[in-house]
Structure 1
Amino acid sequence: MCRFLAYIGPELPIESLLLAPENSLLNQSLDPELHPSLQLAGWGFAAWSDHLLHPEAPLRYHRPKAAFHDDNAKSVIPSLQAHTLLSHIRAASYDASVVQADENCHPFSFDHTPWIIAQNGALPHWRQLQRELLPHCKDQYLTQMRGTTDTEFLYVLLLSLLEGDSDEDVQRGFEKLLQVICKAARNLDLAALTKLKIALVSRERMIGVNFGCGHEGETDVTGDWQKLRDEDLPLSMLLEPIYLLTGANFQDYANTYDIDPCPEGEATSAILASEPLTENAEEWLKIEFGEIVFLERKDGLIRKTVRKLDV
């Protein structure tokens, strides 16, 4: 499975998010804690910092090779810091259909939008589904698509469906996204389990979405993801939560993802991840299947909202 990590909070060294912790994103690509698979198909990150020459735009870095083999990471990353970050390591099957190239590494970023995207998931049959989905796509985004991944196409489709950038607009956009995908799959008789665990990030904002549909294209999927591990692994992974950690003074805990817990409304930092990154998983809020979480940093504090998606 792919993995992602997003952060908003005070400016801090990117090294403390991607390299230093024992369970860092780069270390997970070689020695994962929870899901015993390697991510060898590339990795990348995008970061906003007030210390960049263009602080309103994300600095992007990606390489189409295993993160733990990236000889540039340990020389570039220690020189950078950020207040907003989205990072991703890519898993892909190894066959002739998989293209390992810079343009296929997450996160994806287009002009004319504040949003960047990464995901841990897949849209089966997405090339055939384009017959039904392309009419929903706007040329201003389609013409920016450079790679061959389902995630970049989902990015085009989502941006085309957005009517604005408010939390309400983004939620409606994601709800429309799954609705048009399910309708296209039904029309083409291509219904299949579709796991969409998506991180959508802009400056000082991040949104996590955990949804999709089951083997028959149904969206009202239920079950205990842990009990399903041995009997239906794809369904288990569909229903698995994504994880959120909020608190204060993250910068005081060198080489870990530890943070000081604090009451609702007093958090200064937030980390959204595809799996819990500390030994105590109970510290992490679970964003369950069918939920969307909105986080925004204003006046140094994190505003958080969790809602059910209407699909």
Structure 2
Amino acid sequence: MCRHIAVLGPHAPLAESLVDPPYSLVRQSWEPRRQRHGVVNADGFGVGWYAPGDPLPARYRRAGPVWADESFADIARVVRTRALLAAVRDATAAGADPEAAAAPFAGGPWLFSHNGALPGWPECAEALAGQVPAAALLRLAARNDSAFVWALVEQRLLGGAPMGRALAGAVATLARAVPDARLNLLLTDGAAIAATAWGDSLWYVSRGRRTAVASEPYDDDPGWTEVPDRTLLAADRSAVVLTPLTPRFPEAADAPAVVCKEPAS
């Protein structure tokens, strides 16, 4: 599993959201409070942010633990942004992709993170491969389940789907093919945030013109609200909307009939 966070608000240093809070994402890399699967998130980390006047995000990712990266501390102190998405990673399986496997994944104006797992990976890829064009499969940033989930989401975004519908459609496809999948997805374009709670914790808080959506609260502010499981969240700087994701939500019609099962040992 992983921990991740997306923030929209006034210009502020990355550290204000990722380092300074008492239970910040950096601290969650070794001491998460609400993580249901895994213990330490030391298999990579990343942060993406938006610079003024540029619609495409910048990213800084590394394969090791965030607490060991002195360069990140400097970047977080001086880089200011109105929108960010960051994650610390607990790998679900060994791999050879180093920082390419660390979120956020990116394409066009979007930043994406997956907190969860596809049990049975990579055998599940065979059952789901038809949902992604061959060229997109060949361009996967890494050979892990999260990169594949991003390919499913990005395909829908490039087809014109709004962010929330793109996440809901991917969750419908994956949940039908992999019934015990954990699919907490987080997506931003720098102006809005979309997320799903599906198998692990998700929280949000709005303070004035600032909205944060995270795997768990980074402080003890009573304004933090937990998102119910099986829920789609859509947020901007002024509002947060929650929509239940039920087995009958419209995107389920696009889900494949095949069910991917973990191979017998």
TM-score when normalising by structure 1: 0.72
Residue deviations 1:211-230, cap 9 Å, x none? 2xxxxxxxxxxxxxxxxxxx
Match 1:205 to one of 192, 207, 221: 192
Residue equivalent to 2:120: 125
The structure having more radius of gyration, on CA atoms, is 1
Confirm whether residue 295 of structure 1 aligns to residue 235 of structure 2.
Answer: yes
Q: Counterpart of 1:90?
A: 89
What residue in structure 2 maps to residue 218 of structure 1?
Answer: none
Deviation at 1:245, TM superposition (A): 0.4
1:308–1:78: structure 2 CA closer, same or farther, 3 Å change rule? same
Q: Does 1:27 align with 2:27?
A: yes
2:191 is the counterpart of 1:194: no
Match of 2:42 in 1: 40
- The equivalences for 1:1-311 within 5 A come to 1-35=1-35, 37-50=39-52, 55-92=54-91, 97-99=94-96, 101-110=98-107, 113-139=108-134, 141-162=136-157, 163-166=159-162, 170-171=164-165, 173-185=166-178, 191=179, 193-211=180-198, 238=199, 240-248=200-208, 268-280=209-221, 282-297=222-237, 302-311=238-247
Gaps of 5+ in 2: 248-265
Q: Which amino acid aligns with 2:232?
A: I
Q: Hey, what does 1:255 align to over in structure 2?
A: none
1:247 aligned partner, one-letter code: R
* Other structure's SS at 2:96 match: coil
Partners of 1:59 and 1:161 lie apart in 2 by 22
Give the count of matched residue pairs: 244
Asked whether the 8 Å contact 1:175–1:310 carries over to 2, the reply is no
Question: What is the distance in 2 between the residues matched to 1:131 and 1:100?
Answer: 20
SS of the equivalent of 1:244 reads: strand
Identity value in percent: 21
- Counterparts of 1:202 and 1:303, CA distance in 2: 16
Could you list the runs of 5+ residues in structure 1 that have no partner in the other structure? 186-190, 212-237, 249-267
Letter matched to residue 41 of structure 1: D
TM-score, scaled to structure 2 = 0.84
After superposition, the C-alpha distances for 1:46-67 in whole angstroms (9 at most, x for unaligned) are 00121xxx62111100010011
Partners of 2:175 and 2:75 in 1: CA distance? 42
Q: By how many angstroms is 1:79 displaced?
A: 1.8
* Distance in 2 between residues matched to 1:71 and 1:2, nearest whole Å: 21
Contact 2:22 / 2:218 at 8 angstroms: preserved in 1? no
TM-aligned CA deviation for residue 175 of structure 1:
3.6
Separation (CA, whole Å) in 2 of partners of 1:180 and 1:166:
17
Mapped partners of 1:165, 1:49: distance in 2 = 25
Contact conserved, 1:141 with 1:159, CA < 8 A, in 2? no
Q: Rate the CA distance shift 1:43–1:164 in 2: closer, same or farther, 3 A.
A: same
The answer on whether the counterparts of 2:167 and 2:195 sit within 8 Å (CA) in structure 1 is no
Partner amino acid for 1:274? S
Task: Classify 1:165/1:184 alpha carbon distance in 2 versus 1 (closer, same or farther; 3 Å).
Answer: closer
Counterparts in 2 of 1:16 and 1:174: CA distance versus 1, 3 Å: closer
Helix, strand or coil at the partner of 2:218: coil
Q: Secondary structure at the match of 1:10?
A: strand
The 1-side partners of 2:49 and 2:196 are apart by: 20
Matched AA of 1:270? T
